[in-house]
Structure 1
């Protein structure tokens, strides 16, 4: 099941939100420099907004009302002392907690249905998207309904709403199936250029912060071995401390997450207000297909062939020297 962001957020809205968090004495300076912001600053701001908004349902803990950004963060939260205390409370009366969450979810859903779509025929996903736009809503994974379809069937049986089954178009179902199967919590792949955003490395005196490097290989899916483009130093960085790089218009990118994961494409245009790009797939099964509104974080610049070959050769020579020395 896919989820939709509540609305497109304009750059001006982002700047206003960021400015409100600054002291009054610094707001004027920030306003003057806002026009000179680059793509990197806009992307950083977009990531901050995503952290505030709705994220993946399976990484949300309703008992603690805690949203995690990836699988690793959710595992760390589950092992925390605060979560264990909440689960102990839940274990004393699990049925009561589930019924309470189910009642709150049902009440909120019906309220939206009555006030926004009274007497009209509307897709359940539309109402659900309006419900989840509020980050503080009760999430479905804490109710007694496993899926939205199951919940809508419950509404029909109880006479709370008239439920009708409308099959989706074949093409849309295929797209959603590809999105579900190819959407992962890890996105690194060899041959792409990523930007190091690790502040701990900067604090240790290394000049890698906000510098770009070529991803040589992947370790345990989440750690990349990065060869810095300027110094040729090789460092290991977790993907959480890396950022995708967007090339100039016409540059080659790789789709690193989502339905077309692994495909190389040509960057046709960018939408700085929606933090998305328009691509044309270069080779493979989907060659020539134009992809609309692909998010920045789902694409990354591909290293040019010459740079990749040179760095690969140097990397192999260094590896052979280490082996001979041992």
Structure 2
């Protein structure tokens, strides 16, 4: 539950509101289908509310749900307060600079990243986004996303750089990153860019809230070979359960299904045990810098 609405971000309010609405529906013994039939809503409208995907939330919608769920007046007022925040404030990624290059799925990711207390990220192909340099990001978008205009690339680079502020905010995100040894040797943009990029990873890893590990080739087969993934944890672990984020070239999506989340969390724990220790990993990164 959010106790300070004055300082709460719209993203946090949307996630908290969605989680509490879902719990209230379940407590009332109602299915999603029953609710949308009563309100003459589309099924997707309720889904977006419960997953925090709407940019703004109408207080009239919250009042309608509270009536169906027989919510206590005090709780109803709090939920309407969450909705009001989404109407009166804007998240940083809703600016004119960033909005044109953000897909709906990635918008959900940004909301979770901005409100999470901890983030676990496994990457097999490139340096995790929160640790990338501007030059490295630019090359990735020039090569991996064919057809982007220079303006779009500039916006995406700016977006990535702004995202990294979560590592330096007042209550910094606790970031655990694991990457394949292949990431250290894939020349993205050439030797100079790679040396600077790896040096940046080493510098970032000196922060107490950042932990970096490398899975060496000699570790053999492992649970990360199916692809990259991100898991989010939140301070309010009762209302906001962990969430998994996945992406490919054409789409981004999240899963809150308990069994799926548990599988990915176990996979990350296994990878932490299989990877080199943080100190050994930094030694491997520094060795790779010299080889570029």
TM-score for the superposition, normalised by structure 1: 0.27
Greater radius of gyration (CA):
1
Q: Which has the higher strand share?
A: 1
Q: Which has the higher helix share?
A: 2
* More RCO (CA 8 Å, sep 6+): 2
TM-score for the superposition, normalised by structure 2: 0.29
